[in-house]
Structure 1
Amino acid sequence: MSSLFASPRFLSRVMWADAASCAATGALQVGFTDALARLTGLPGGLLVGTGLFLLAYAAAAAAMARRATPPRTLIALVAVGNFGWAAACAALLASGVFAVTALGVAWVVAQAVTVVLLAEAQWMGLRATRQPRAGLAASA
């Protein structure tokens, strides 16, 4: 299984998946704001704001995925950001600030689960492709 994560294409594929999921979610939130606001109980401004962010993020993730050598530091930051997004989703639901419907809870939970899975895949790919430090390799 570790050879899957160590594949030179694994991180690129994970970043393409991240880009695609964000592009789809962002497009839905921006394109169908009013309908989603009614169905989810989430404010339209929150849906548009996060939707626009997701579209911009999707473009950045796609740019990372296209690179021949994945930018490890940026992917690590993306993974941390994905865990942060999941925490923000949990905080949003726990806060009770908005009268979120059952569909709204499902929408937010689906985002949280998706980004946690992507972040974990990103970490696994980073760990599997980590280069040993020169000092450690020489002493081995």
Structure 2
Amino acid sequence: MSVFASPRFLPNVMWADAASCAATGALQVAFTGALAGLTGLPAPLLMGTGVFLLAYAAAAALMASRRTPPRTLIGLVVAGNFGWAVACIALLVSGIFAVTALGTAWVLAQALCVVVLAELQWTGLRRTRGGADMALA
């Protein structure tokens, strides 16, 4: 059986998404000032997205812990992850902030990570297409 066909594939990808967002969010909240200085990104942007990522990580963990993954919600996560990647690129291309080389790497790493996760989530959804959509409740 392929890794992609495993019934745990989609929950495992959601756990990876939760972990990456929790780590990034925690770093951005705990070290907002230092990261702002190193990256050239504004502290309020780092704090705001850090808090969002922590909340999202909790929601992703909840989805991952379900016996049957909530397909509709994970579909929204896929769209959100692609949207996050687009927003990261737009932020860099816009030039509205004097982002440093480290800041560019920080933002591009997030964009790459969410694109990979979104693709894996989409693959998991396609592989489990036969199941009914489940709600969180």
User: Shared fold by TM > 0.5?
Assistant: yes
Query: Taking structure 1 as the reference length, what is the TM-score of the superposition?
Result: 0.92
Of all paired residues, the percent bearing the same amino acid is 77
Runs of 4+ in 1 over 4 A off after TM superposition: none
Q: In structure 1, how many angstroms separate the alpha carbons of the residues matched to 2:131 and 2:51?
A: 39
Q: In structure 2, how many angstroms separate the alpha carbons of the residues matched to 1:75 and 1:10?
A: 13
Which of 1 and 2 has greater Rg? 1
RMSD: 1.4
Kindly indicate whether residue 16 of structure 2 is the aligned counterpart of residue 17 of structure 1: yes
Please list, as runs of the form range in 1=range in 2, the aligned pairs for 1:41-56 lying within 5 A after superposition: 41-56=40-55
| Aligned counterpart, 2:102 | 103
Identify if the C-alpha distance between structure 1 residues 76 and 55 changes in structure 2 by more than 3 Å, giving closer, same or farther.
same
Alpha carbons 1:14, 1:118 under 8 Å: kept: yes
Unaligned runs of 5+ in 1: 134-140
Unaligned runs of 5+ in 2: 133-137
- What does the per-residue CA deviation read over 1:50-89, in whole Å, with 9 as the maximum and x for residues that have no partner? 0000000000000000000000011110011000000000
Please list, as runs of the form range in 1=range in 2, the aligned pairs for 1:72-87 lying within 5 A after superposition: 72-87=71-86
1:32 Cα deviation from its structure 2 partner: 0.1
Q: In structure 2, how many angstroms separate the alpha carbons of the residues matched to 1:53 and 1:109?
A: 18
Alpha carbons 1:5, 1:129 under 8 Å: kept: no
| Aligned counterpart, 2:70 | 71
Q: In structure 2, how many angstroms separate the alpha carbons of the residues matched to 1:71 and 1:8?
A: 13
- What does the per-residue CA deviation read over 1:86-119, in whole Å, with 9 as the maximum and x for residues that have no partner? 0000000000000000000000000000000000
Q: In structure 1, how many angstroms separate the alpha carbons of the residues matched to 2:131 and 2:11?
A: 21
Number of positions where the alignment pairs a residue of Structure 1 with one of Structure 2: 132
